[in-house]
Amino acid sequence: MLDNTVCLKIDARYRRITPLTTNPVRLALAILWLTPTQLHAGEVVDSTTAPSSREQPGHPESAPLSFPRRPSTPPTLTTHLPHLLQVRASVYSGGTPVGRQGFAALQRLGVRTIVSVDGAKPRIDLATQFGLRYIHIPIGYDGITDSQKSTLGAVFTRCRPPYYFHCHHGKHRGPAALAAALCTAGTMTLAQANDYLQLAGVSRGYQGLWNAVADASKRPPLPTAQPLIPMTSVSTMVAAMAAIDPIYDNLKLLKKNNWQAAPDQPDVTSAHQSLMLLELLKELPRTIAADQFKKPLFLTALSATTDHAARLQRELRKSDWASASKSFEKIRLSCVDCHADFRN
Ligand code: HEC
């Protein structure tokens, strides 16, 4: 008798499962034999979900397209989904959806499940309004644990496609987490993963992320998936940093605009943003819980950044734009230095 393994051909590239037998008994045996992960290899997902039309054989999307690619969506979609990349017919990566339009854009793409690997609180309220399910699996820049890899991989078998994986900017952790998830699910080779990470722009400085993906492709992590939940609690440090990040981004844009508010965002002023940055940095030493961040070296680095932020705030109040730009550059360098020493 034929081994069950030859009864079904799983073709990840074409994203469908092709029966190689018409014998109903053999076919049933072969389907029973497949594990959920292997089923995913053909992107037949979640027993409660019928594959969407784009995954049906014969649909143009199931032709051997070259993935990953920048989807040819209207620019309005990509404005609200930074660094959007299509990695499979029904799998995307990018940055945090920007406002309501970001979630509307995901809905227009047909996305059903959003996976955030960022420390910031997911906007579950907006996701719900657009009928999208949020899964929160925050990861650091220094790597992805086995348990996180399993949990990421489990998304494909437990949640409905299409999927959108994001971090904050969509450049480093999001693509790395998605590549690890696809490798864990057995649908991406290391060579494909490396191409994708390169296209996404994952910095070589985040070696922990590259290693995590390489590991996931070589060795399936132990099946220790955590429950898939819409919001996971994060440490005070991660929460503070996740709050600092968008403010820092706003300041970066304001600096480009000679520290003047953009006409479409009159409330985002340099005075207010610099004050918020200063407050968050000042508050941090009082809320740090982890011992590793209570050490003098770390606290000295933090207080240097706080001093630069205080100076920036004063200079902006005095409309001293040239000095403010210099102080902002010092802040940027201190973010980079501290991350190199204590985070990456
Ligand atoms: C004194 C050290 C220090 C400084 C200064 C610092 N950071 Fe961090 N940052 C960290 C550490 C440590 C982590 C990792 C925390 C963890 O994973 O436990 C981190 C994490 C982050 C994260 C990831 C949060 C997440 O989602 O997991 C972002 C984003 C970030 N920092 C942005 C910034 C920005 C922007 C600046 C500059 C304005 C900055 N940081 C300044 C130490 C610092």
For the chain, 344 residues long, give each residue's pLDDT as a single digit of tens: 333 322 233 333 323 223 333 444 343 433 333 333 333 333 333 333 333 434 332 232 333 356 788 877 666 677 899 999 999 999 999 999 999 999 999 999 999 999 999 999 999 999 999 999 999 999 999 999 999 999 999 999 999 999 999 999 999 999 999 999 999 988 999 999 999 999 999 999 899 999 999 999 988 777 778 899 999 989 889 999 999 999 999 999 999 999 999 998 899 999 999 999 999 999 998 888 777 788 889 999 999 999 999 999 999 999 999 999 999 999 999 999 999 999 88
Q: What is the CATH number of the domain that holds 308?
A: 1.20.120
**Phi, psi dihedrals of residue 260, rounded to the nearest 5°:** -100, 145
* Ligand 1, atom 25: closest residue by C-alpha: 119
Residue 67, in any domain of the structure: no
Ligand 1 center–CA 343 separation, angstroms: 7
Residue 191 and residue 90 share a domain: yes
Whole-number Å distance, alpha carbon 285 to ligand 1 midpoint, is: 13
pTM: 0.76
Within a domain: 229: no
In terms of domains, do 186 and 96 share one? Answer: yes
320 in the same domain as 205: no
Using DSSP's 3-state secondary structure scheme, residue 164 falls into: strand
Triad 262, 202, 280: Cα angle to 5°: 50
From CA 84, how far away is CA 166, in angstroms rounded? Answer: 9
Is 68 inside any structural domain?
Answer: no
Compute the Cα dihedral for 183, 187, 188, 190 and give only its sign.
positive
170 shares a domain with 277? no
Confirm whether 69 is domain-assigned: no
Tokens of 231: 């919001």
φ, ψ for residue 245, nearest 5 deg: -55, -50
CA of 335 to the centre of ligand 1 (A): 7
Ligand 1 atom nearest the C-alpha of 332 is 37
Residue 111 lies in a domain: yes
Indicate if 201 and 301 belong to the same structural domain. Answer: no
One domain for residues 156 and 207: yes
Same domain, 124 and 32: no
Query: Ligand 1 centroid vs 299 CA: distance in angstroms?
Result: 13
CATH number at residue 187: 3.90.190.10
Pocket test for ligand 1, best of 168, 241, 328 (most atoms within 8 A of CB): 241
Closest C-alpha residue for ligand 1 atom 35: 245
Per DSSP bridges, beta strands 16-19 and 8-11 are antiparallel
For atom 16 of ligand 1, which residue has the closest CA?
238
Q: What is the DSSP track for 66-87? A: -SSB-----HHHHHHSTT-EEE
Q: How many domains does the chain have?
A: 3
Pocket of ligand 1 (CB under 6 A): 118-119, 138, 140, 168, 235, 237-238, 241-242, 244-245, 248, 298, 301-302, 305, 331, 334-335, 338-339, 342-343
Residue 221: the pLDDT is 72
Q: Across-strand partners of 92?
A: 86, 164
- Out of 167, 339, 342, 344, give the residue to mutate to test ligand 1, the one with the largest number of ligand atoms within 8 Å of its CB: 339
Q: Does 144 reside within a domain?
A: yes
Angle at 315 between CA 309 and CA 319, to 5 degrees: 140
Partnered with residue 91 across adjacent β-strands are: 88, 163
Domain span at residue 324 reads 236-342
Query: Which is the closest atom of ligand 1 to the Cα of 309?
Result: 38
Amino acid letter for position 258:
N
